[in-house]
Amino acid sequence: MIRSTIQLYSAVVTDTASAILRGPFVWLMLIGLPIVLGLLSMVLGPLGIIGRFALGFASVYFYGAYLYAVGQSIERKNPLGIGIIRESLGHHLWDVMHIAFLHWICSLVFSLGGLPAAVPTLLGIVAFVLFNPWPEVIHSERTNGAMDILVRAFRFMTQNGPEWVIPHLLLVGLGWAALNAPASALSSVGLGLGVFLHPVMVFRGALYRRLAGGSRRARTWRSQF
């Protein structure tokens, strides 16, 4: 089992490197998103609640497009030119919107429920773990609404939880160390997003597809040959 797990992560790292090299403009897309949203925030800020709604819609719109571009960089075998940015616009908008709306409803219910502050925090952590791969479900599978996305994510975690969580613990540790290192170049949020977050998202997507493509028993059997 250890051998098959090592082979799994080795294959995922190879897939990740290939996808990043195929889609440099997807990386550029993520670097540019905070700048675009920052400019929109300055323009829409004076509009009050309407401006906040428009900014939220724009954030969902661009994040859905980014998820599509990540999925294509993993799935396709040919290089992705700058046209991938235009191609991605509008994709996965409603999938991400459904998740964002469900999150807003849950937050509203918890804020009005009079519960101790620790309860929503604990429930949020549990939900974050149980439904963690929802972005990968969106760009890797055909889905039908928020509940379908969350059910698929939960089912995936019940079947592949250890293999999914282990590298994430390492990534969280590396990210925390980089962001807290003295005079670290990654202390800049914008640079950190560009340098660190995109490879993580591609790694997650590649890992999801590898894990979803076969059971733990099948991977153990294949590792013998």
pTM listed for this prediction: 0.86
What residues contact 202, with CB distance under 8 A and at least 6 apart? 16, 19, 20, 70, 73, 74
Long-range contacts of 55-58 (CB under 8 A, 24+ apart): 56/100
**Nearest alpha carbon to residue 65 among 139, 120, 118:** 139
For residue 184, what pLDDT is reported? Answer: 46
Q: CB–CB of 34/190 below 8 Å?
A: yes
φ, ψ for residue 145 (rounded to 5)? Answer: 95, 170
How many angstroms separate the Cα of 148 from the Cα of each of 63, 100, 195? 19, 14, 32
For residue 125, what pLDDT is reported? Answer: 87
Single-letter residue type at 53: F
Instruction: Tell me how far apart the alpha carbons of residues 40 and 50 are, in angstroms, rounded to a whole number.
Output: 13
How many angstroms separate the Cα of 158 from the Cα of each of 212, 214, 216? 12, 14, 12
Q: Report the sign of the C-alpha dihedral through residues 163, 164, 168, 169, in that order.
A: negative
For residue 24, what pLDDT is reported? Answer: 92
Domain with 138, as residue range(s), is: 2-222
Instruction: Tell me how far apart the alpha carbons of residues 25 and 7 are, in angstroms, rounded to a whole number.
Output: 29
For residue 165, what pLDDT is reported? Answer: 92
* Total domains in the fold of the chain: 1
**Nearest alpha carbon to residue 150 among 139, 141, 137, 165:** 137
Instruction: Tell me how far apart the alpha carbons of residues 14 and 57 are, in angstroms, rounded to a whole number.
Output: 35
> Along the 225 residues of the chain, how does pLDDT read in single tens digits?
677 788 889 999 999 999 999 999 999 999 888 888 889 999 888 888 888 999 999 999 999 999 999 999 999 989 999 999 999 999 999 999 999 999 888 888 777 766 677 777 888 888 889 999 999 999 999 888 889 999 999 999 999 989 999 998 888 777 666 556 554 444 444 455 556 889 999 999 999 999 987 666 555 545 554
